[in-house]
Amino acid sequence: MTIRNTLRDHGQRYRPRMACLKKVEKLLLEMQDPKTGVKSQPQRLVITTIPHAITGEDIIAWLADRFQVDTQEARNFVSMLVALGYIYPLQDHRRLVIKPDASLYRFQTPYFWPTQQWPVEDTDYAIYLAKRNIRKRGILELHEQEHYNRLHKWMNHKWDFVVMQAKEQYRAAKERKKPDRVVFECQERAYWVVHRPPPGTVSAMDYGLDRLTDPNADEVTGESLCDLLVKYCSTYKSHDPFLSNCLPSNPWLTDDATYWSLNMPSVEIPTKMRVERWTFSFAELLSDPRGRDDFRLFLKKEFSGENLAFWEGCEDLKWGEAATMREKAEHIYKTFLARGAPRWINIDGKTMEVTVKGLKHPHRYVLDPAQTHIYMLMKKDSYGRYQKSPVFKDTVKKAICPEEHRYSDAQLQQNAKKRRPSLSPIILRQMEQEQRAKMAANVDITQVMSKLSKQGKEAHVFSSGRDQKQS
Amino acid sequence: SSHVKAMGKDECKTMLDALNKVTACYRHLVIALGSTSDSQNLREELKRTRKKAQELAVANRTKLTSLLKDKSISKDDRAEYERLWVLFSSSMELLEVDMKRSLEIGQDFPLKVPTRHLIQTGMTGSTTTVAARAMSVQNMKYEADSNIDTADLRDLQCEISQVSQMMEEMEMKVQVAPWAVEAKQEAGAELKSNMSVGNSSVGVISICEEEPKEEDGGGNRDAGFASICAVLVFFVIVTVAVVLGYLVINMS
């Protein structure tokens, strides 16, 4: 059972290819016309005769005549039809190519037509492989055997169904007369050659990643998607190490890891490029740990560091382990949200109500409304001031712009020999956690003291205001 | 009550088998839609098969939900019912997709329009035996109107929305984690089944599986062999006839 929601109907009908497939289907109908369509002949097999076989040269000739094109172009077109699975070869079934001779082909039944409306289901493939197993042992090819094993592993909960359905479909197929049975087996086999191609071949139906939404459906007002994309590209172009030189040099190319060491998460002096990125958007600033450090410093001077601390606490809750969730939520409540909390944050009454209610049964996303509120507050208010602040200006001045490395070939070879693995992510994470603990210990004293002193000075104004908010 | 429960489980399995059978047959019928096997009869077969499938679906759902709601069942029993539930819902998924596809193909291939041709797939025989298997009857009797290919589509649309609704309800009301179910069948279980042996089916496969070179060579070889056999048999019969004739003449 798959999760049923609107995402399930992920028919890829928005792909431009759908329009082409519709046209092909119309063309196929024309080919069926007994008078003007493609000539068909019976296929003689050992024990039976099956009608409606067409030769490669006949289809190509018909198409060349229909569209008034030369044979080569018609041949290209028909090879596309075969690759997509509208027509399948009767001999050499694994190679979906059109042979411009007397090789025989047949039309595929509409149920097996390639159409992106109906995603090709692994369940059906599993049933198909099981059916072939039933028919004859050891008939599965190597890649099919591998698919089978893989499907058995991850589709294990459905496996009883797969086997049951395979048996029933096999029995149902036996009810038909022999020629029809042969045709059905060939049809099904052809369908799966298209959609689960043998190794070394590519399925013509490959379309990359699934699209989950209709790109033509929602109208983007104001700036069109195009404009946004252009803006993004022009902003980030010089920062993309793929598209432009990264200073001092790209470690992957020169085996010199200076770039990485200069851009460590908690480096003392950041690079100019990095600092420039912090001005692109607030999200950029927050996502860079060094940027956050700088911002934190600024907020400390402004005595509004609790906002950032709260935001970080929420992130920790969202992405942290489930076991510690409850404690974290409680700690955050006691530190930031409760009445008289040491680092009380300023959020509106309604959000506070919703949050406090949700904290009775805390889960990962219980602090989302409050976090969003604080995020927007910081973005609209503090971020602008930060960019004009002496803290930031100082950082910009101190930021380094390393010289570009110019290595000769011999030096590059030397570098390659000196390659060493970088710090393990486990160690990096430990360092991160130590630093965080240090910071938490630090802050508790200094911030709280400054807050209390502030409270003392403005107790009169503040307390009345706060009482109003909390009631 | 354990006896009753055992009966309940067996009943369930029988009904599930029936649903599974009808789903498989329905799929075979839908595959024939739009091809040269398509006919008024096929449309009627589709209609009756899917109605039967829906009856079985409702019966299965009622039975299984009542079994799953019972809080007093043992853990093993519950695991078994959940396994049956996964079987049931997988069947329903297949059925729903095939119903939607039969609507689409049915709309694209009306039977009465002379300019819309059926696809020459090489399949020309009827599907009546498949439908008879689904309906569990000996022979199918056809009694539908001649405009069934268009008239039935409206019913089909209603039934599709009913089935979709039923499946949504099922998902909401029954809390079964399908991935937690463990199948009883191991990999390759179907290889051990005794269904595969049968000369006729082996003959069918060899036709399908032959490579081009083998197919020609094989065909020639078989044809040659058959013809030698035929000639030998012919000579034997002629010899016997001559001998008998000689004896008869001598006798008289």
How far is Cα A404 from Cα A248, in angstroms, rounded to an integer?
4
Give the one of A40, A169, A185 whose C-beta lies nearest to B24's C-beta. Answer: A169
Residues 107-136 of B with CB under 8 A from A: 108-109, 116-125, 127, 129-130, 132-134
SS3 B119: strand
Q: Are strands A104-107 and A41-44 parallel, antiparallel or unpaired?
A: unpaired
Give the one of A135, A177, A189 whose C-beta lies nearest to B201's C-beta. Answer: A135
pLDDT at A180 over 50: yes
**Does residue A43 contact residue A90 with C-beta atoms inside 8 Å?**
yes
Interchain contact, B195 vs A175, CB within 8 Å: no
How far is Cα B27 from Cα A168, in angstroms, rounded to an integer?
11
How far is Cα B90 from Cα A448, in angstroms, rounded to an integer?
60
Task: Report the C-alpha dihedral over residues A375, A377, A378, A383, rounded to 10 degrees.
Answer: 130
pLDDT-based confidence at residue B2 (cuts at 50, 70, 90):
low
* Residue A444 CB partners (closer than 8 Å, separation 6+): A342
SS3 B194: coil
CB contacts of A134 in chain B (<8 Å) are: 190-191, 193, 195-196
Interchain contact, A51 vs B122, CB within 8 Å: yes
How far is Cα A346 from Cα A370, in angstroms, rounded to an integer?
10
**Does residue B158 contact residue A209 with C-beta atoms inside 8 Å?**
no
Q: In sequence order, what are the beta bridge partners of A53?
A: A41
pLDDT value, residue A460 = 41
Give the one of A29, A111, A161 whose C-beta lies nearest to B101's C-beta. Answer: A111
CA angle B221, B225, B230 (to 5 degrees): 150
Angstrom CA distances, A440 to A264, A290, A445, stand at: 21, 17, 9
Stretch among A98-107, A220-229, B80-89 having the lowest mean pLDDT: A220-229
How far is Cα A127 from Cα B226, in angstroms, rounded to an integer?
37
Considering only alpha carbons, which residue of chain A is nearest residue B169? A4
pLDDT value, residue B183 = 77
Closest CA to A162 of A188, A197, A125, A120: A125
pLDDT-based confidence at residue A458 (cuts at 50, 70, 90):
very low
Q: Which residue type is seen at B125? A: G
Buried-exposed string B114-141: b where 16+ CB fall within 10 A, e elsewhere: eeebbbbbbbbbbbbbbbbbbbeeeebe
pLDDT value, residue A221 = 63
> What token pair was written down for A236?
């980030």
> What token pair was written down for B184?
């009883």
Interchain contact, A176 vs B125, CB within 8 Å: yes
Tens-digit pLDDT profile for residues B18-60: 999 999 999 999 999 999 998 899 999 999 999 999 999 999 9
How far is Cα B71 from Cα A268, in angstroms, rounded to an integer?
62
pLDDT at A396 over 90: yes
Instruction: Give the mean model confidence (pLDDT) for residues A330-355.
Output: 89
Instruction: Give the mean model confidence (pLDDT) for residues B124-147.
Output: 89
Give the one of A51, A139, A168 whose C-beta lies nearest to B24's C-beta. Answer: A168
Tens-digit pLDDT profile for residues A397-429: 999 998 888 888 898 888 888 888 877 889 888
* Residue B7 CB partners (closer than 8 Å, separation 6+): none
Rg (C-alpha) for chain A, rounded Å, is 33
pLDDT at A375 over 90: yes
| Strands laid side by side in the A41-44 sheet | A41-44, A49-55, A104-107, A87-89
How far is Cα A161 from Cα A157, in angstroms, rounded to an integer?
9
B39 CB within 8 Å of a chain A CB: no
Give the one of B87, B121, B204 whose C-beta lies nearest to A107's C-beta. Answer: B121
* Residue A96 CB partners (closer than 8 Å, separation 6+): A82, A83, A85, A88, A89, A193, A194, A201, A204
> What token pair was written down for A278?
């912090």
Q: Prior bond to A402 cis, omega within 30?
A: no
Q: In sequence order, what are the beta bridge partners of A55?
A: A104
pLDDT value, residue A150 = 93
A172 CB within 8 Å of a chain B CB: yes
Residue with tokens 């600092």: A275
How far is Cα A456 from Cα B1, in angstroms, rounded to an integer?
75
How far is Cα B130 from Cα A464, in angstroms, rounded to an integer?
83
Stretch among A89-98, A190-199, B3-12 having the lowest mean pLDDT: B3-12
Size of interface A-B (CB pairs under 8 A): 212
B200 CB within 8 Å of a chain A CB: yes
Residues 101-160 of A with CB under 8 A from B: 106-112, 117-118, 121, 123, 130, 133-137, 139, 148-149, 152, 156-160
pLDDT value, residue B213 = 30
Considering only alpha carbons, which residue of chain A is nearest residue B187? A152
Residue with tokens 């709601």: B69
pLDDT value, residue A222 = 64
Closest CA to A48 of A179, A184, A174, A177: A179
How far is Cα A378 from Cα A370, in angstroms, rounded to an integer?
12
Helix H, strand E, coil C: the string for chain A is CCCCCHHHCCCCCCCHHHHHHHHHHHHHHHHCCCCCCCCCEEEECCCCEEEEEEEHHHHHHHHHHHHCCCHHHHHHHHHHHHHHCCEEECCCCCCCCCCCCCCEEEECCHHHCCCCCCCCCHHHHHHHHHHHHHHCCCCCCHHHHHHHHHHHHHCHHHHHHHHHHHHHHHHHHHCCCHHHHHHHHHHHHHHHHHHCCCCCCCCCCCCCCCCCCCCCCCCCCCCCHHHHHHHHHHHHHHHCCCCCCCCCCCHHHHCCCHHHHHCCCCCCCCEHHHHHHHCCCHHHHHHCHHHHHHHHHHHHHHCCHHHHHHHHHHHHHHHCCCCCHHHHHHHHHHHHHCCCCCCCCCCCHHHHHHHHHHCCCCCCCCCHHHHHHHHHHHHHHHHHHHHHCHHHHHHHHHCECCCCCCCCHHHHHHHHHCCCCCCCHHHHHHHHHHHHHHHHHHHHHHHHHHHHHHHHHCHHHHHHHHHHHHC
Tens-digit pLDDT profile for residues A269-323: 999 999 999 999 999 999 999 999 999 999 999 888 899 999 999 999 999 888 8
Residues 3-32 of A with CB under 8 A from B: 4, 25, 28-29, 32
CB contacts of B23 in chain A (<8 Å) are: 165, 168
Residues of chain A with pLDDT > 70, as a percent, come to 88
Interchain contact, B121 vs A182, CB within 8 Å: no
Is this structure's pTM higher than 0.80?
A: no
**Does residue B12 contact residue B67 with C-beta atoms inside 8 Å?**
yes
A284 CB within 8 Å of a chain B CB: no
| ipTM, 2 dp | 0.78
pLDDT-based confidence at residue A116 (cuts at 50, 70, 90):
low
Give the one of B31, B196, B215 whose C-beta lies nearest to A91's C-beta. Answer: B215
Considering only alpha carbons, which residue of chain B is nearest residue A115? B101
Q: Which residue has the higher pLDDT, B44 or A203?
A: B44
Interchain contact, B182 vs A139, CB within 8 Å: no
* pLDDT averaged over every residue in chain A: 85
How far is Cα A463 from Cα A128, in angstroms, rounded to an integer?
73
Q: Cα distance from A180 to chain B (closest Cα, Å)? A: 5
Q: Which residue has the higher pLDDT, B203 or A227?
A: A227
Residues of chain B with pLDDT > 90, as a percent, come to 42
How far is Cα B41 from Cα B126, in angstroms, rounded to an integer?
8
Q: Which residue has the higher pLDDT, A257 or B184?
A: A257
Instruction: Give the mean model confidence (pLDDT) for residues A163-174.
Output: 94
Considering only alpha carbons, which residue of chain B is nearest residue A138? B191
pLDDT at A69 over 90: yes
Task: Report the C-alpha dihedral over residues A121, A125, A126, A129, rounded to 10 degrees.
Answer: 180
Residue B136 — left, alpha, or beta (φ > 0 → left; ψ -120 to 50 → alpha)? left
Q: Indicate which of B121, B127, B179 best probes the interface with A, i.e. most A CBs within 10 Å of its own CB.
A: B121
CB contacts of B106 in chain A (<8 Å) are: none
Residue A264 burial (CB < 10 Å; 0-12/13-18/19+)? middle
Interchain contact, A46 vs B207, CB within 8 Å: yes
CB contacts of A163 in chain B (<8 Å) are: 185, 189-190
Residues of chain B with pLDDT > 70, as a percent, come to 82
* Residue B112 CB partners (closer than 8 Å, separation 6+): B147, B149, B150
pLDDT value, residue A247 = 84
pLDDT-based confidence at residue A446 (cuts at 50, 70, 90):
low
* Residue A442 CB partners (closer than 8 Å, separation 6+): none
Q: Cα distance from B239 to chain A (closest Cα, Å)? A: 29
